[in-house]
Chains A and B, each alone.
Chain A
Amino acid sequence: MAVRVNPKLITELAKYGADDVQNCYHCGNCSATCPFSKEPFVIPRRSMRYLQMGLEKSLRGDLEPWLCYYCGECSEQCPRGAEPGETMMSLRRWLTSRYDFTGLAGLFYRSTRAEIAALVLVALLTAAGLLAYGYIWGGGDLSAFDGGEGRRPFLPASAIHVFDWALGLGFLAVLLVNVARMWHFTMRSRRSPRVSAAAYLKHAVLLPVHFFSQKRWAECKETTPWKMHLGLMLGYVTMLVLVMFFLEPLQHGPGIRWEVHAFGYLATAGLLAGTIYALRGRLRKSRSSHRHSHGTDWVFLGLLLAVVATGVVLHLTHRLGYGTAANVTYLVHMMAVVPWLARYPFTKWSHLVYRPLAMYFAALQSEALTSRVRGQEQPAALARAA
C-alpha cells in the first residue's frame, strides 16, 4: 500500500526550526559520524528523508529524533549544509507537539508570542492567587516570612503545598496522557515490532537509569555538554524534591539547616552552572548545537534563570531576616516557578520524560527486531550444522 507524501510538511516544519532539510541529498555522512546510528536505527538520515518526503505517519512513529543528543557532529560533516542536527532538534519539538493532546505545545512552538502571553498570564494569576491568600486567609503580615517568633507567616508552607501539589498532579496527569500517546504512536506504528509485556518489565530499569544518567550522551565526541546538562538536571530534580517534601525545614530560618540546605546549595550550583553554560553557548553560538536557537529555547533558559536567581535572592533576604523583602521576592519567585512548571507537559521541559522513554522503547524495539532476525536465520544455521 502506497503512502501519500505531503510536500507541505517540510514548510510546516520550518516553523519548528528545520530550515535546511531539503539541501540533504543523502550522502550518508551524517549517519556515518553519528555514534547512535546503529541497526536498526539510521540517525539522522532516515528522519531527514521522512521529513523531506512529508511522510507524516512514519515521522510521528519515529523514535530516532529522541536518540539524538545533538552533539552537532552530523551538521559539521554535512557537505550540503542541511543541518541534520538542527533538523533532529526541530523534529523533537514537532514530536512533542504531536504527543501533546492539548495542542498547546504546537501553539507555543509555532508562536513564541503566544507562549510568552501564556506565561505572563499564568504569572499574574499566581501573584493574584498568592496575594489573595496572604491577605484574606493568611496573616496578611508581609513582614512575617516563616513561623519564627510565634507569628503567622504571610504564606505558610502548608498553603504553598496546596498549590504545588495540586499543580504537580494536574500537570502530571496531562503528561501521562501525552506519554500514552507517544507510546501509541511509536510502539504501535506500522514499522514497530510487537513487544511482549515481559520485555516491558525486563527493561523497565532503563527508565530511571536514562532519566538520571543520560549515559548515552556520554558516547558523543564531546562530553562537556553532557556533564553540564547532568549538573543542571540533577540540581533541578533535587530542588524539586526539596520543595515538594522538605519545604518546612527549607523555609525555617534564619539559622541554616545543613542537612537540607547543603542539598539546596549543591542543586543551586548545578542549576546556575548549567543555565549559564547554555546561555553563553547560545549567545556566542560557539557549538553547532547552539548555533540555531528557537524562541522557545530563549524562553526556557530565561525563565530557568529567573527561577534560580529569584530563589537565591529569596534565600538571602530570608536568612538576613528581611521578612518583607523575603515575602516580596517569594511572590516574584513563584511568578517564575509556576509558569515554569506550567510549561511542563507542553514544551522542551517534557523531554525530561520523553527521552528516557524513547531510550526504553528503542531498546525494546531493537531487541524484538534482532530476535526476529535470529528467528529467521535459525533454519539456515541448522542446515549448516547438519
Chain B
Amino acid sequence: MAEPKIGVFICSCGTNISHVVDTEAVREQALVLPGVETARTYRYMCSNPGQEMIGAAVREHGLDRVVVAACSPRMHERTFRGACRAAGLNPYLFEMANIREQCSWVHADRPAATLKATALTRAAVFRVARNEPLDGLTAEMCPTTLVLGGGIAGLTAALELAEGGYPVVLVERSDRLGGNLARVDLTAPYLDSARDLLTERITRVRRHHNITVMLHSQLKALSGFVGNFTATVQTADGEAPRTIAFRLGNVVVATGYREFDASRITHYGWGKLPNVVTSFEFERMLRSGRIETKDGRPPRYAAIIHCVGSRSREFHGYCSRVCCMTALKYAQEIKSAVPDCYVSDLYIDMHAFGKGCEDFYKRGSEAKTLFLMYGKNEHPVIRRAPPGDDCEMLIEVDEQLSGERIEIPADLVVLMVGMEAREDSAEVAHLVNISQDKDGWFIESHPKLDPVATTTEGIYIAGTCAAPKDIPDTVAQARAAAGRILARIARGRIEIDGVFAEVHEERCSGCRICNELCPYSAIEFDSEKRRSHVIAAACKACGACAAACPSGAVKARHFTSEQVLAQVEGLLS
C-alpha cells in the first residue's frame, strides 16, 4: 500500500476545547506523525468554512485520508463524513478524535489534557492510515408486509398499508379479529363504543383486496433480512391445518397484551368471592346492560380497586396506563345505572394524563365517588362481611390521605387488572429477532426518537406488545409503523450501510463457532463449501463474530483488528 496522505484538522470549538487543550501543540505533534501531510487548527470545524477548509486541503495536498480532532463522533461524524464525500473522498477514509466530550470538558489540567488530546489524535491518525474505502450494498424490497395480530393495532396498520396500495398478510392466532378491544364496552374518556370503533375496521379489512386475513394461524419461522424475508405460517383457517411459506419485505408486530391474572393476589379473593370481578368481567356486565351481584340484586355499595398487578414490587413495577380512566368510567356508569349505589374507588395515584382525562376525573368525583388512596406495595384485603351487616364484603386498607386504617362496605368489587406481556412474547421475539425488556415488552430501536422501529431492520412494533398503551397511542403507533414501511417500499431498493462483517473464505475453516453468535442470524453456513458467510443486509456490525472467529477469518469492516490495534499503538506510543 502506498504511503497514505493524511490531513489532520483540530477544532477549538470556540474555546470549548482550546481553553483546556493547547490545540497548537496538538497540531505540531500531529505534523510529525507518519503519513501526515498537513495539520490545521480552526475555530469551528463543523461550520461551513471549517468543512470547506477540509475540502480545500484535500484538493491542495491530494489528501486521501482525513482526521478531525473535535467533539464526539456521536455528534459530528455524519457531518465530516459528508464533508469528505463532498471533497471526493470515501467517507470511511475519515476518523475522529474525541477531544471535547472526553477531554477538554472533563479535564482541567492543561498539560495533561493536551497530552491526552495528542494521544487521541495520534491514535486516530494511526487508525485512519489503515482504514479502507467502503461502499454500501443495495437489495430489492418486497412490497408485501406481514402483520402479526388482529387487534386494533394490527387492523389499523394493515388498512394503512393496504390503502397505500401494497399487499398485506394479517396473521391472527385466535379465531376472530378485534383483540382485547373487542372485550370492551365503552371507551374512556369520551364514552364511545368499542364495537363501533372495531366493526367498521374489521369489515374494511375483510373486504380489502390487498389484505389476506389468516385466522387460527401463527408464524412458525422467519428467515432472511429486510425487504427479503420468508415467513412460514401454520394455519388452521378454513380446511385442514397446513403450513404455508411466502416472501415479504417488512413485519409489523402487533401481538398485544394479556391481562394480569387476578388470582395471583390471594387477598383479593378473586375466584373465591363471587362478587369480586375483573375489569373484563365487568365489561361483560356493562355490555349485557345489567350491573348486579351474582344473586341478581343491584349493588348498594360498589368498590373499584386500581393497579391490580401493576406498580407493585412483587408483580409489575410499571403502570398499565389505561386502568385509571377505565375505573372512572366504571364509577360513572355504575352511578348512572344504579343511582343510589355508593361507589368507592381505591387507587395508588390517579393517572389522568391523557387528552380530556382530567375533566373526566373531575366528573368522576362530582358523581360523588369516594376516592381512597392506598399505598404502593400494600394491598387492600377483601373479606366477607359478618352476617347481618348491610353489605356483602368489607375491604380493609390503610388510607394514605387520612392515615386511617379503614373498612369499606362493598357488594361488588371490580379489580382493574393490569396489562402484561403475552405468554408467547418470548417466542415471537425470538422468531422475528427483536429484544424484550425485563417485563417482556418488545424494545424499540430508540425509546424517544424511533419508537416503532426495532434493532432488526424491517421489523416494526405497534401497540401494547411494546408497552401498555391506550387506544389513541396504539393507533398512532400502528399508523406510524405503516408509514415507515410505505416510505421504505416507496424508495424501491434498500441501501445497506458499508459497515458490516464479512467472512474471508480463504481463511474460514468452517468450524461454525460464529454461527450461533449472531443476534440477527445474519451468518449462514454453506454446507456445500463448508464455509460460513455473512448476509450483509442482515448484519448490524456489532462485531461479535469477528472477535470470536478463532482463525481471524471474519472481518468487521471499519472495525478490523488492524484498525483497532493501530489505535492502541497510537494511544500508547
Contacts and interface: CB of A to CB of B under 8 A. Distances in A.
Q: Do chains A and B touch in the complex (CB under 8 A)?
A: yes
Interface of A: 1-5, 7-8, 10-11, 22-23, 25-26, 46, 49-50, 52-55, 58, 80
A2 B407 contact: yes
Contacts of B408: 5
Interface of B: 301, 342-344, 350, 361-362, 365-366, 368-372, 396, 399, 401-402, 404-409
A353 B343 CA distance: 38
Given A1-B405, A3-B407, A7-B342, 13 more contacts: A2-B396, A2-B407, A4-B409, A5-B406, A7-B344, A7-B409, A22-B365, A23-B365, A49-B401, A53-B370, A53-B402, A55-B406, A80-B362
A54 B399 CA distance: 13
Given A5-B370, A7-B344, A7-B409, A53 B365 contact: no
A11 B370 CA distance: 11
Nearest to B389: A4
Contact of B366 (A23, A26, A50): A23
Given A2-B396, A5-B408, A23-B362, A46 B368 contact: no
22 contacts: A3-B404, A3-B406, A3-B407, A5-B344, A5-B372, A5-B408, A7-B344, A8-B342, A10-B370, A22-B371, A23-B362, A23-B366, A25-B371, A49-B401, A49-B402, A50-B402, A52-B370, A52-B371, A53-B402, A55-B406, A58-B404, A80-B365
Among A4, A10, A23, find the residue whose CB has the most chain B CB atoms closer than 10 A. Answer: A4
B324 to A, nearest CB: 13
A55 B396 CA distance: 14
- Helix, strand, loop or mixed for chain A's interface? mixed
A53 B409 contact: no
Contacts of B342: 7-8
Given A22-B369, A52-B371, A53-B399, A3 B362 contact: no
Contacts of B409: 4-5, 7
A5 B344 CA distance: 10
Contacts, number: 62
Contacts of B370: 5, 7, 10, 22, 52-54
Contacts of A23: 362, 365-366
Contacts of B401: 26, 49
B267 to A, nearest CB: 14
Contacts of B372: 5, 53
A2 B402 CA distance: 13
B407 A5 contact: yes
B399 A25 contact: no
A5 B410 CA distance: 11
Contacts of A46: 402
B366 A22 contact: yes
Contacts of A11: 368
By Cβ-Cβ distance, the 6 closest A-B pairs, closest first, are A7-B342, A2-B407, A4-B407, A49-B402, A2-B405, A22-B365
Nearest to A54: B370
B178 to A, nearest CB: 35
B569 to A, nearest CB: 61
A54 B405 CA distance: 13
B368 A10 contact: yes
A1 B366 CA distance: 30
A100 B96 CA distance: 86
A53 B406 contact: yes
Contact of A22 (B368, B402, B404): B368
B404 A53 contact: yes
A296 B406 CA distance: 34
B285 to A, nearest CB: 21
Nearest to B344: A7
Given A4-B407, A4-B409, A55 B402 contact: yes
A211 B399 CA distance: 37
A11 B369 CA distance: 11
Nearest to A7: B342
Nearest to B369: A22
B368 A3 contact: no
A46 B401 CA distance: 9
Contacts of A1: 405
A2 B381 CA distance: 12
A1 B407 CA distance: 9
Nearest to B398: A2
Contacts of A10: 368, 370
A58 B404 CA distance: 10
Nearest to A46: B402
Contacts of B366: 22-23
B440 to A, nearest CB: 34
Contact of A3 (B343, B350, B371, B405): B405
Contacts of B365: 22-23, 25, 80
Nearest to A23: B365
B367 to A, nearest CB: 8
Contacts of B396: 2
Contacts of B368: 10-11, 22
B298 to A, nearest CB: 15
Contacts of B371: 22, 25, 52
A181 B369 CA distance: 32
Contacts of A4: 406-407, 409
Contacts of B406: 2-5, 53, 55
A55 B404 contact: yes
B548 to A, nearest CB: 58
Nearest to B381: A2
A8 B344 CA distance: 11
A26 B404 CA distance: 15
A52 B409 CA distance: 15
Contacts of A50: 402
Nearest to B343: A7
A80 to B, nearest CB: 7
Nearest to A52: B370
Nearest to B404: A3
Contacts of B361: 25
A46 B402 CA distance: 7
A189 to B, nearest CB: 13
Among B366, B402, B408, find the residue whose CB has the most chain A CB atoms closer than 10 A. Answer: B402
Nearest to A80: B362
Nearest to B399: A53
A55 B361 CA distance: 23
Contacts of B369: 22
Contacts of B362: 23, 80
A53 B343 CA distance: 11
A237 B402 CA distance: 40
Nearest to A24: B365
A50 B372 CA distance: 11
Nearest to B400: A26
B58 to A, nearest CB: 63
Contacts of B343: 7
Nearest to A81: B362
A49 B406 CA distance: 13
Contacts of A80: 362, 365
A25 B350 CA distance: 10
Contacts of A2: 396, 405-407
